[in-house]
């Protein structure tokens, strides 16, 4: 059988590599994971810290979904299924911060970047990139990240096999694509909400810095936030941050 998962020692960004592969006609589920990335990309134009050999940098090309409505749910499905895989393999309890950040306790352990694959104005599928801090030690985290990030090793006290995890996460991402395409929205939202760490917490919206309390998901995967004056907003893009308790 043709192997769908390839390893490269170093690259600019695995999301870009997989985009190229898919444009050359690679099959659904084709994936690349790298030892290090020179310009790893995060959500909202950020940089993704990608030190050599310590963490997981994986991208998967999907030729589905082809409906924009389903594409909107894909990041949530990927988050929920990847959190489950990481938890099963490492024993660490993984939570989700909307839309698809992987957290352990009060720190981020992984992030997901979903991009659409298009031809002209037609949706052809998606590229799903996931970065997980696997074996990095606290001392190797830059100061700005040490306050907000953790790793599987830091949380479980032991090192984990990055290649084995990459294989399991590739399958989970393919399953997430099938889930949104197969009309399983309801169970997907349930699955996500079981790991929701935002619900009931005070959050700040990136778009205008307004604060409110996260109330969970709408049917389309958007986040509902209730402000102090009782009005609500449905957030479809961007980000929330947690407002720390000052007591």
Using Cβ positions, the residue closest to ligand BTN within the complex turns out to be: 111
CB of 186 to ligand BTN, least distance (A): 26
CB of 59 to ligand BTN, least distance (A): 5
Number of residues that bind ligand BTN (CB under 6 A): 20
Binding mask 63-102 for ligand BTN (x = CB under 6 A): --------------------------------------x-
CB of 183 to ligand BTN, least distance (A): 27
Does 111 participate in binding ligand BTN (rule CB under 6 A)?
yes
Closest CA to 109 of 100, 120, 122: 100
Q: Please state, in angstroms and rounded to a whole number, the distance separating the CA atoms of residues 162 and 160.
A: 6
Residues contacting residue 70 through CB under 8 Å, at least 6 positions apart: 64, 180, 181
Tell the residue number behind the tokens 């996500």, with chain if given: 192
Compute φ and ψ for 170, nearest 5 degrees. -60, -45
Nearer to ligand BTN, 213 or 242 (CB): 242
Applying CB under 6 A, the span of 124-132, 174-182, 196-204, 223-231 interacting with ligand BTN comes to 124-132
Residues contacting residue 180 through CB under 8 Å, at least 6 positions apart: 65, 70, 71, 73, 74, 77, 188
State both tokens at 67.
């409906």
Nearer to ligand BTN, 65 or 131 (CB): 131
Cα 149 from chain centroid (whole Å) = 14
Does 131 participate in binding ligand BTN (rule CB under 6 A)?
yes
Are 87 and 94 spatial neighbours (Cβ–Cβ below 8 Å)? yes
Nearer to ligand BTN, 41 or 160 (CB): 41
Q: Please state, in angstroms and rounded to a whole number, the distance separating the CA atoms of residues 91 and 81.
A: 15
Q: By CB under 6 A, name the one of 113, 117, 141, 179 that touches ligand BTN.
A: 113
Does 126 participate in binding ligand BTN (rule CB under 6 A)?
no
CB of 49 to ligand BTN, least distance (A): 9
Residues contacting residue 24 through CB under 8 Å, at least 6 positions apart: none
Closest CA to 190 of 81, 89, 64, 115: 81
Binding mask 30-69 for ligand BTN (x = CB under 6 A): -------x--xxxx--x-x--------xxx----------
State both tokens at 104.
């352990």
Interface residues toward ligand BTN, by CB under 6 A: 13-15, 37, 40-43, 46, 48, 57-59, 101, 111-113, 129-131
């Amino acid at each position: 059988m043709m192997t769908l998962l390839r390893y490269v020692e170093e690259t600019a960004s695995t999301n870009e590599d997989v985009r190229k592969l898919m444009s050359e006609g690679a099959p659904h589920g084709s994936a690349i994971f790298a030892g290090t990335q020179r310009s790893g990309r995060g959500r909202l134009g950020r940089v993704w810290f990608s030190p050599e050999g310590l963490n997981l940098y994986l991208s998967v090309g999907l030729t589905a979904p082809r409906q924009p409505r389903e594409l909107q749910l894909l990041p949530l499905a990927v988050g929920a299924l990847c959190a489950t895989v990481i938890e099963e393999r490492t024993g660490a309890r993984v939570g989700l911060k909307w839309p698809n950040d992987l957290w352990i306790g009060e720190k981020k352990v992984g992030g997901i970047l979903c991009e659409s694959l298009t031809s002209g104005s037609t949706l052809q599928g998606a590229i799903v990139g996931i970065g997980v801090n696997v074996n990095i030690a606290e001392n190797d985290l830059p100061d700005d990240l040490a306050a907000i990030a953790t790793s599987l090793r830091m949380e479980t006290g032991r090192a984990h096999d990055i290649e084995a995890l990459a294989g399991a996460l590739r399958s989970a991402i393919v399953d997430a694509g099938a889930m949104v395409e197969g009309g399983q929205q309801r169970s997907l939202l349930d699955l996500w909400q079981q790991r929701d760490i935002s619900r009931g917490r005070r959050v700040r919206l990136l778009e205008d810095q307004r604060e409110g309390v996260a109330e969970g998901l709408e049917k389309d995967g958007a986040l509902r936030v209730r402000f102090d004056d009782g009005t609500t907003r449905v957030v479809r893009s961007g980000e929330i941050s947690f407002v720390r308790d000052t007591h």
